[in-house]
Structure 1
Amino acid sequence: MTASDTPAVIVVGGPTASGKSALALDLAEALDGVVINADSMQVYAELAILTARPGPADLARAPHRLYGVLPAATRCSAAAWCDMALAEIGLAQKAGRRPIVVGGPGLSRRALTDGWSPTPPVPEEIRRATVELHESLGGEAFHAELMRWDPKMARRLAPGDTQRLIRAWEVMVATNRSLADWQQEAGAGPPPGMVFDWIVLAPPRDALYAACNGRFRAMVAAGALEEARALLALDLDPELPAMKAVGVPELAAHLRGETDLETAIARAQQATRNLAKRQTTWFRHQIPVAGARVQRSHVARAQYSEKIASETLSFLRNSG
């Protein structure tokens, strides 16, 4: 229990395909909780299958919030998500339910637990020029240029991480300061009295990669190709985050006749494994220790299972 009478907000993290959504759902059932989405792609209404969004059976077991709440034509920033998440946490607590935040990039969750340090707005002309520069240079050369001007951010990002490379460059140009420096500034933190319990799934690499491969094939069987076709029919800006969701570019290439379906699936599986690897690395170095806002952390070095769910519940109950 926290210093106040309000239980800690539970934050469930882990790499993609580790089973964190299933764990969050089990916790919500056992603790009378509300599952609050922190996945940057699951917020988009048009991406149900390709983001492995909870289905009707899951939604019937416990309340879920911030899933499919925005159109793919919008950009959902970490700051915007943080505002929505804090509102949902407050509503859950007022209703006497346990907020359980699950998924998403590390930056979003750290914005929630540590507070958001906003960067100054980037003029639209700088953003357009940055996108055009990336298109003309390509990912590898753009990454090399970023390494010259902002090595702090370049070392954090892969050449294929287009959205974040563009963000790092535009902030550097607009503010003459690395995005890494902006992110290190102390945030205001969550509302007073709010603290967090972190639960992290950290499966062995072989098991995680096998899950990534199997899950994407299951997505295709469930209609991912049709979902990608419908998204492309909206004729959205290809630089929008939703258009870069894992599986969308790969299936789009197939739909344009550039690859066969098996090649598209193999490339999407590789992209999923790459994402899982980056997320695993982040969690290995960024799991917060107990402090003013995080009262405890628990790492389960395995894939989701009923045993892991039971152990996690025991941890939460016995140490609270």
Structure 2
Amino acid sequence: MGLASVIALFGPTGIGKTAVAVALARRLRAGGEDPVAISADALQVYAGLEVLTGAADAAERAELEHRLLSFLPVDATFSAGQYAELAHAEIDDALAQGRTPIVVGGTGLYLRAALTNLKLKPPPPEGARERWTAELERRGAPALHAELARRAPWAAETIDPNDRQRIVRAHELLDGGDLEPPGGASQLWTGEMRHPTLLAGLVMEREALYARIDARVDAMLAAGAREEVLRANAAGASDTARKALGFPDLLAGDEEGMRRRTRNYAKRQLTWMRKLAGVATIDVTGLDADEVAHRIDRLRRRPDPTPEAA
């Protein structure tokens, strides 16, 4: 087969995906290609949360054009379905212009939404969100999670008891008859792509990753992440914006809670990656961004890329 027309980079928070994308872009340009990065991160869509969400900074954007970053105000709600429409348009537009899209993200659902034609869940039934949100405020997330466990134990198993948004959404879907028990092949994990795609999954030795995460949190705090959160809170940040990793912790002044939550999130991202069909995993422990970019480029140029570790 020929070169994959789309390159996708997935990996846990703090592993250095943006730096790898920038290094890969330099390599692609040296080979005559014109790369453009397309974000597949659920929270980097919000303007004003760039430090907290680890969005590409001004220098990185100057070296590599990034799309679908910082285009929504913090009081706006946003869904995977809305993202899918935008991501498909950006990828298709880039390809039509002869450019090479590099899809970069750590939000698994958004990555799949960008690369495939997922049948995403419909909006909730009329009034369901308001009713369950009111119940959430009255009874609290753990109580609603316990009720979800009674109504749909298979759904509750995959949701943290304090994940307010997902708990409400699960109850909404149950009310509309759109949340069904697992069975058969999930569309989410099929290998079907909209375009020929090299999917590179970045992994790292766990202790090294946790050290990077702690350093990343320290850097975010030094760069004003808590001040971002306070401004967003004062501006009426939406429920979806408040899902940004560390938002509730920094709002409460709990820096250690942010570190702990970030490490736990990285574990979930790695679990998600193991389910991805056709992913080529690359252990980046001890490698710099240029070395990782070289491995991705070499993998892409194989006559028949396989999902083996690179």
Q: TM-score range by the shorter chain?
A: 0.7 to 0.9
- Residue equivalent to 1:261: none
Identity, in percent, stands at: 37
For 1:301 and 1:199, the matched residues in 2 are separated by: 10
Structure 1 residue 301 and structure 2 residue 303: aligned? no
For 1:77 and 1:105, the matched residues in 2 are separated by: 12
For 1:176 and 1:81, the matched residues in 2 are separated by: 20
Q: CA deviation at 1:215?
A: 0.6
CA gap of 1:15–1:319, structure 2 versus 1, over 3 A, is farther
Q: 1:23 aligns with which of 14, 20, 23?
A: 20
Q: CA deviation at 1:183?
A: 10
- Residue equivalent to 2:263: 273
Query: TM-score if structure 2 supplies the norm length?
Result: 0.87
Q: CA deviation at 1:179?
A: 7.8
For 2:206 and 2:21, the matched residues in 1 are separated by: 21
CA gap of 1:179–1:235, structure 2 versus 1, over 3 A, is farther
- Residue equivalent to 2:205: 204
- Aligned residue for 1:12, secondary structure, equals strand
Q: Which runs of 5+ in 2 are unaligned?
A: 29-33, 305-310
Q: CA deviation at 1:185?
A: 5.4
**Partners of 2:27 and 2:293 within 8 A in 1:** no
Q: 1:134 aligns with which of 131, 136, 143?
A: 136
CA gap of 1:220–1:179, structure 2 versus 1, over 3 A, is farther
Q: 1:170 aligns with which of 160, 172, 189?
A: 172
- For 1:3-42, list aligned pairs within 5 A: 7-31=4-28, 32-42=34-44
Deviations 1:79-103 (CA, angstroms, capped at 9, x unpaired): 1111111111122112221101010
Deviations 1:249-277 (CA, angstroms, capped at 9, x unpaired): 112123xxxxxxxxx21111111111111
CA gap of 1:153–1:58, structure 2 versus 1, over 3 A, is same
**Partners of 1:15 and 1:279 within 8 A in 2:** yes
Q: Which runs of 5+ in 1 are unaligned?
A: 255-263, 290-296
Deviations 1:42-85 (CA, angstroms, capped at 9, x unpaired): 01012110001111110111111111011112222111111111
- Residue equivalent to 1:292: none
For 1:199 and 1:271, the matched residues in 2 are separated by: 25
Q: CA deviation at 1:227?
A: 1.2
For 1:183 and 1:231, the matched residues in 2 are separated by: 40
Q: CA deviation at 1:178?
A: 2.8
Q: CA deviation at 1:206?
A: 1.1
- Aligned residue for 1:175, secondary structure, equals coil
For 1:318 and 1:265, the matched residues in 2 are separated by: 44
- For 1:93-172, list aligned pairs within 5 A: 93-172=95-174
Q: Which amino acid aligns with 1:273?
A: R
- Residue equivalent to 2:73: 71
Deviations 1:200-233 (CA, angstroms, capped at 9, x unpaired): 0111221111111111110111111221221122
**Partners of 2:145 and 2:167 within 8 A in 1:** yes
CA-atom RMSD, angstroms? 2.4
- Aligned residue for 2:281, secondary structure, equals strand
Q: CA deviation at 1:181?
A: 7.4
Displacement over 6 Å in runs of 4+: none
Deviates further, 125-134 or 214-223: 125-134
- Residue equivalent to 2:276: 287
Q: Which amino acid aligns with 2:118?
A: W
How many residues are treated as equivalent by the alignment? 295
- Aligned residue for 1:36, secondary structure, equals strand
Q: CA deviation at 1:242?
A: 0.8
For 1:247 and 1:133, the matched residues in 2 are separated by: 24
Structure 1 residue 242 and structure 2 residue 257: aligned? no
